Amino acid sequence: MPVSAARAAAFDVLLRVETQDAYASELLHSERLDQLSPADRGLATELVMGTLRWQSRLDSSIAACSSRAIAKLDTQVLIALRIAVYQLVFLDRIPSRAAINESVELVKRARKTSAAAFANAVLRKIGARSDEGLAPRLAPKEGANPSTSSGQALGHPAERFAHPAWLVERWVANFGLEKSAAICRYDQQVPATSIRVESDDILHELEGEGVFLAPGALLTSARVVTGGDLTQTRAFREGGVFIQDEASQLVAALVGRGSRILDCCAAPGSKTAALAARNPGAKIVAAEIHPHRAELLRRRVHAPNVQVITGDALALALQGGFDRVLADVPCSGTGTLARNPEIKWRLKPVDLVDLHAKQVAILRAALQHLAPGGRAVYSTCSLEPEENEAVVEEVLRASESWRLVDCRIELQRLKETEELAAGNIDMLVAGPFLRTIPGVHPCDGFFAAVLVRES
């Protein structure tokens, strides 16, 4: 029995995610999937993202019906089992027989034929339990109170919404139980596709090509795709529209306007493009340490006032000062788990210590390029204080050359110029910092701080 193209593609993507630390979102947009029909591509995406989002719960179901410990299963066998269990429990329109038989064939396709009978037996047990309504409920009931459950309240969101317990415990300590449950719930859903459009003409063109749009929640320039296929439009193919989360767009807006702007960790380029659109007369330098990502940046950002350079943010050889600097630093990405669910299974507590040290070094280096009176924005897509407030505070303690500006001031400026759509500015800040929280706000989790260099 041949394996369907969608399931084969999903298996291959998940195997690379598991064994090569690849990112699912990048692989799902690779040329490998261009050969699939729209229906097959949609199913492959559903299988990959759903399996990653619910991985710990899928493994629990497998362990309950397996004679072998999860840790002792071959990676290929485990991935095939996860794909099948996700279909059995979540995808009502897929017959159990198809889900089971094709995953058994995936095991054979991976040259693990000796495990085929084992996989078949495990999946038929799970399938029987699912048919009888005995499979664990993976999807949360709407309106349920996260603090009431048979079990410990602290661990409940982690178990119920398939997140590592250590990570959720941190969120409970920092944000409280209700917001932590909202984060976890948001992470398990397909996030909205937000876009930044550079002209009304492009908006009309998109509508003419069958793309349905709703106004953004945070910015007046943002739109949310509610229908149609954006990727098939001329504007998307030619770089006239950018898929960019609204919180990411807001970070770029905080940078403001200037004549010389530095984006020191620029790839993949969505914020660079936003800076160029807001500052068409400025000279913008976009730096990226990795050559292949710098090349991607050149392909994505077509603005003539952007110079892309390959270089380490810690040692950029640039002449003259910049009146605006963006340091959107590499981070854990815990604010983007709805889009990058594999992150939660890879991240370890020690990683936050290493990231903090790198982020402090990058911010210090970035500030050295700031002209007197200039403004810098430090940002991450992380929810973790070690990567956010702690970085800014450590840098400020070491020098009196920099001053922290309350983000409310910059957000109020955006409100007055009718760029900010959000009505309640206080909902977007935590102390002097910008702070968006998935599930609390309709966007990814971002942090930003605005600093100025004293004259």
The CATH number for 193-242, chosen from 2.40.30.70, 2.40.30.10, 3.30.70.1170, 3.40.50.1100, is 3.30.70.1170
Q: Is 331 a catalytic residue?
A: no
User: Stretch 256-265: mean pLDDT, rounded?
Assistant: 97
Sign of the four-CA dihedral 12, 18, 23, 25: positive
pLDDT band for 190, please (50, 70, 90 cuts).
very high
Q: What does the alpha-carbon distance between residue 41 and residue 232 come to, in Å, rounded to a whole number?
A: 14
Q: Which of 265, 381, 407, 443 is catalytic?
A: 381
Q: What does the alpha-carbon distance between residue 90 and residue 39 come to, in Å, rounded to a whole number?
A: 18
Question: Any idea which of 100-109, 191-200, 284-293, 306-315 has the lowest mean pLDDT?
Answer: 191-200
Tell me the per-residue pLDDT of 238-253, one tens digit each, with 9 for 90 and over.
Answer: 888 889 999 999 999 9
Q: What does the alpha-carbon distance between residue 245 and residue 186 come to, in Å, rounded to a whole number?
A: 14
Domain at 247-453: CATH architecture: 3-Layer(aba) Sandwich (3.40)
pLDDT band for 147, please (50, 70, 90 cuts).
very low
User: Stretch 409-434: mean pLDDT, rounded?
Assistant: 95
Residue carrying structure tokens 């702690």:
390
User: Stretch 89-99: mean pLDDT, rounded?
Assistant: 92
pLDDT band for 200, please (50, 70, 90 cuts).
confident
- Residue 150 is predicted with a pLDDT of 32
pLDDT band for 135, please (50, 70, 90 cuts).
very low
Q: What does the alpha-carbon distance between residue 18 and residue 341 come to, in Å, rounded to a whole number?
A: 12
The letter for the amino acid at 4 is S
Tell me the per-residue pLDDT of 215-225, one tens digit each, with 9 for 90 and over.
Answer: 999 999 999 99
Tell me the per-residue pLDDT of 318-340, one tens digit each, with 9 for 90 and over.
Answer: 988 999 999 999 999 999 999 99
Tell me the per-residue pLDDT of 37-79, one tens digit each, with 9 for 90 and over.
Answer: 989 999 999 999 999 999 999 999 999 999 999 999 999 999 9
Please spell the DSSP secondary structure of 38-84, one letter per residue: HHHHHHHHHHHHHHHHTHHHHHHHHHHH-SS-GGGS-HHHHHHHHHH
Residue 453 has pLDDT above 60, yes or no: yes
Domain at 5-131: CATH architecture: Orthogonal Bundle (1.10)
Residue ranges per domain, the chain?
Answer: 5-131, 156-187, 193-242, 247-453
Residue 141 has pLDDT above 80, yes or no: no
Tell me the per-residue pLDDT of 356-396, one tens digit each, with 9 for 90 and over.
Answer: 999 999 999 999 999 999 999 999 999 999 999 999 999 99
- Residue 148 is predicted with a pLDDT of 39
- Residue 423 is predicted with a pLDDT of 86
Q: Is 301 helix (H, G, I), strand (E, B) or coil?
A: coil
Helices (H), 74-161: 75-90, 96-109, 116-131, 156-160
Residue 68 φ then ψ, to 5°: -120, 145
**Pairing label, strands 283-288, 260-263:** parallel
- Residue 153 is predicted with a pLDDT of 39
Give 39's Cβ-side CA count (13 Å radius): 1
Q: What does the alpha-carbon distance between residue 425 and residue 415 come to, in Å, rounded to a whole number?
A: 9
